[in-house]
Amino acid sequence: MRLNLIRQILTSFLLVCAGFAVAWGVSLYLLQAAIGRMDQLAALPGGAAAEALAVRQSLRNGEVIVLLVGLAGLVGGLVGMVLAASQASRMLARLKQATQQLANVVLDQELPVSATAKGDDLEHDIREMMRKIQESQKLCLDASPLTRLPGNIAIEQVLKDKMTRGEKFALCYIDLDDFKAFNDRYGYARGSELIKITGEIIYRTKDECGDPGDFVGHIGGDDFVLITSPDNVEAVCRAIIAAFDRAVPDLYDTDDRARGYVEGTDRYGVTRRFPLMSISIAVVTDARRDFKSPLEIAQVATEIKDYVKSLPGSNYLVDRRISQRPGG
């Protein structure tokens, strides 16, 4: 629409200018002709009155022609401008409608397609803008309010995109060990601060050791996801563990840090000692096996994570199993 509107406005002005240019040219021509007639009259010995009347009539005709041509150009330009204004009015009405929909945050509705929408680039731009805003809002609603990292919807979408493109990936399912004991001992505020620090460590490590297209997401609580390439995954895991193990002791009080544990109650109500927190990373990759869906990947990652968490200290484990293909 924007290009059509600009063309209509320019055409309108060109019509006006062309009309006046033609009128000016005609008027000059007629005036030159009248001057020539008057020069001829001056050179004649008689009949001056009759020739003067003829010159006057010629000038009068010239004035009428100039007026009509100029008026036609003016009317043509005005008609074009009215059409352009009408088109602009319809454009603004649709833009107002789209703005109202955006203001009302109608996430589950699309912009209605009007009868003039076909070939209308503004209409297309508005619909595309609304689609992007809807996607961004869904991701924002899904993101963790604590770490600002993308949540489950984005994680699933990234996996689907990689699987669709046939791009090899390694998913790191990251979980903190004995976080509950730390949270119970020091309270919600310090527990939240620990979660933020963990997210920052993972994100920073992704930037330092991963590829530009790597992804970090926050499933919730103390669970995170990092998606990188199979070639980089082990270096990324080692860097995360090293950075986490350096940072965690400083989050404990001096006495607890010196003892190397905190006392707390487990999920069964039994009081026992919990070591300083560690981090467990379960790695699932499609380098050696095939997956049908993100759900299958999540199931395998959970299985590996449960095993890694049973090991003392911070650890990572890469699933190296091979797909069992029919007839293989």
Mean pLDDT lowest among 33-37, 258-262, 289-293: 33-37
Mean of pLDDT values over 216-239 = 96
pLDDT of 32 above 70: no
* Tokens found for residue 246: 């350096």
Q: Confidence band (pLDDT; 50, 70, 90) for 39?
A: low
Considering the domain architecture, whether residues 84 and 181 belong to the same structural domain is answered as: no
**Same-domain status, 69 and 196:** no
Give the model confidence (pLDDT) of 254-271 as tens digits: 999 999 999 998 888 899
Confirm whether 283 is domain-assigned. Answer: yes
CATH number for the domain including 288? 3.30.70.270
Q: How far is CA 2 from CA 88, 90, 103, in A?
A: 9, 12, 23
Claim to verify: residue 151 and residue 78 sit in the same structural domain: no
302 is in which domain, residue-wise?
147-318
CA distance 187 to 203: 25
Residue 224 lies in a domain: yes
Most trustworthy range by pLDDT among 26-35, 81-90, 140-149, 278-287: 278-287
CB 200 within 8 A of CB 224: no
Q: Of 46, 75, 103, which marks where a domain is finished?
A: 103
pLDDT for residue 318 is more than 80 = yes
Look up the pTM and report it: 0.62
pLDDT in tens, 62-90: 667 766 776 776 677 677 667 776 776 77
Rounded to whole angstroms, the Cα distance separating 270 from 147 reads 32
Whole-angstrom Cα distance, residue 216 to residue 201?
Answer: 11
Query: Number of structural domains, the chain?
Result: 2
Q: Are residues 256 and 314 in the same domain?
A: yes
